[in-house]
């Protein structure tokens, strides 16, 4: 097993109507180790939610990126329309 070490590059927080806690997100850069991927950046979010038009809580599949800018774009794409429906804690955050 190879340990992979990430550095936090950027962090975000947002408040959502109807929630009494903040939603947090971060951009990470791999600084050592090999996770079998060819990209060095990923994003994480503290909670998942159900979109207004969704049937269930949505867990994005694309959480890795080639650049910090692309990882930020993916995070904000998920984080911006955050709702207070069926919130689920991300145990890996």
pLDDT tens digits, 75-86: 999 999 999 999
Pairing of strands 5-14, 23-32: antiparallel
Total-model pTM? 0.90
- Encode pLDDT of 40-79 as tens digits: 999 999 999 999 887 899 999 999 999 999 999 999 999 9
CA 93 – CA 87 distance, rounded (Å)? 14
CA 45 – CA 12 distance, rounded (Å)? 9
Banded model confidence at residue 37, pLDDT cuts 50, 70, 90: confident
């Amino acid at each position: 097993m190879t340990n992979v070490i990430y550095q936090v590059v950027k962090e975000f927080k947002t408040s959502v109507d109807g929630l009494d806690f903040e939603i947090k997100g971060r951009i990470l850069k791999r600084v050592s180790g090999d996770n079998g991927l060819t990209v060095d950046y990923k994003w994480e979010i503290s909670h998942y939610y159900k979109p207004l038009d969704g049937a269930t809580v949505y867990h994005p599949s694309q959480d890795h990126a080639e650049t910090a800018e692309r990882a930020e774009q993916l995070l904000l794409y998920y984080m911006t329309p955050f709702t207070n429906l069926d919130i689920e804690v991300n145990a890996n955050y």
